């Protein structure tokens, strides 16, 4: 009797494990985006901001181009190099921000964003992912950026809110974290 009880217990245990694994396998399908699967994405970046007048970049600015070059780590990409550009002086130029993340193997993830200021503080809205190269050629999704920049000041000036005190001739330290999803 004891042996039969162990066999029945083992069968129920196997059935329970199989049901649990089946349920886990169906979760990604339930959260899949049309045409792909939503995958969490996160990155941590650090680098510098430089300014060019008017500048040459994918943003096509006519006054000044803010360009950021950074490195860091990103999920699904590993070590990355990041290239950002936007037109801070052209508030009516919607969608001017461009982002390219390059993985160590050369695959690129592309995005665009709107950059604007509220009460003098820079605001970056969501970054819409729109393809790339390699395994990211058909990628979509949306990520949020939380970033900081340390304005460099002209010698003898100590007011970062005064435009005349800002030194646009040197690189400014910059850092960011990115969070969101990639649809592949």
Residue-wise pLDDT tens digits, 94-129 = 678 899 999 999 999 999 988 766 666 666 667 899
Residues 15 and 73 in one domain: no
pLDDT range class, residue 30, cuts 50, 70, 90: very low
Pairing of strands 140-149, 36-52: unpaired
Same domain, 5 and 66: no
Asked if pLDDT for residue 36 goes beyond 80, the answer is no
In 3-state terms, what secondary structure has residue 145? strand
- Number of domains making up the chain: 2
CB 174 within 8 A of CB 35: no
| 165: helix, strand or coil | helix
Range with lowest mean pLDDT among 54-58, 72-76, 130-134, 141-145: 54-58
Same domain, 145 and 54: yes
Higher pLDDT among residues 86 and 119, named by residue: 86
Task: For residues 48 and 3, state if they share a domain.
Answer: no
Residue 52: C-alpha distances to residues 85, 114, 139 (Å): 10, 19, 30
Pair 61, 99: CB distance under 8 Å: no
Q: Do 56 and 19 have their domain in common?
A: no
Confidence of residue 26 (pLDDT cuts 50, 70, 90): very low
User: Which of 6-15, 21-30, 32-41, 130-139 shows the lowest mean pLDDT across its residues?
Assistant: 21-30
* Same domain as 93, residue 11: no
Q: Residue 19 has which token pair?
A: 């049901």
Q: Return mean pLDDT, the chain.
A: 80
99 in the same domain as 47? yes
pLDDT digits (tens, 9 = 90+) for 164-173: 999 999 999 9
Residues 103, 12, single domain; the answer is no
Q: Which residue has the higher pLDDT, 14 or 151?
A: 151
Residues 70, 26 share a domain: no
Are 6 and 66 contained in the same domain?
no
Which pLDDT score is estimated for 89?
Answer: 83
For the chain, what percent of residues have pLDDT higher than 90?
51
Domain range for 86: 34-183
Residue 102 and residue 41 share a domain: yes
Confidence of residue 55 (pLDDT cuts 50, 70, 90): confident
Q: What is the pLDDT of residue 113?
A: 87
Instruction: Looking at the structure, tell me whether residues 1 and 61 fall in a common domain.
Output: no
């Amino acid at each position: 009797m004891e042996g039969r009880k162990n066999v029945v217990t083992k069968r129920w245990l196997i059935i329970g494990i199989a049901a649990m694994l089946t349920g886990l396998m169906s979760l990604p399908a339930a959260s899949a985006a049309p045409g792909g699967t939503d995958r969490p994405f996160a990155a941590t970046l650090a680098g510098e901001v430089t300014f060019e007048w008017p500048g040459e970049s994918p943003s096509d600015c006519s006054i000044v181009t803010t360009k950021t070059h950074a490195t860091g780590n990103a999920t699904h990409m590993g070590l990355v190099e990041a290239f950002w550009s936007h037109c801070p002086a052209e508030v009516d130029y919607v969608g001017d921000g461009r982002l390219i993340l390059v993985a160590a193997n050369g695959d690129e993830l592309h995005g665009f964003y709107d950059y604007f200021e509220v009460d003098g503080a820079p605001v970056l809205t969501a970054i819409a992912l729109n393809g790339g190269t390699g395994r990211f050629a058909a990628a979509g999704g949306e990520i949020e950026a939380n970033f900081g920049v340390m304005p460099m000041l002209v010698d003898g000036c100590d007011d970062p809110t005064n435009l005349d005190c800002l030194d646009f001739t040197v690189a400014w330290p910059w850092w960011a974290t990115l969070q969101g999803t990639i649809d592949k």
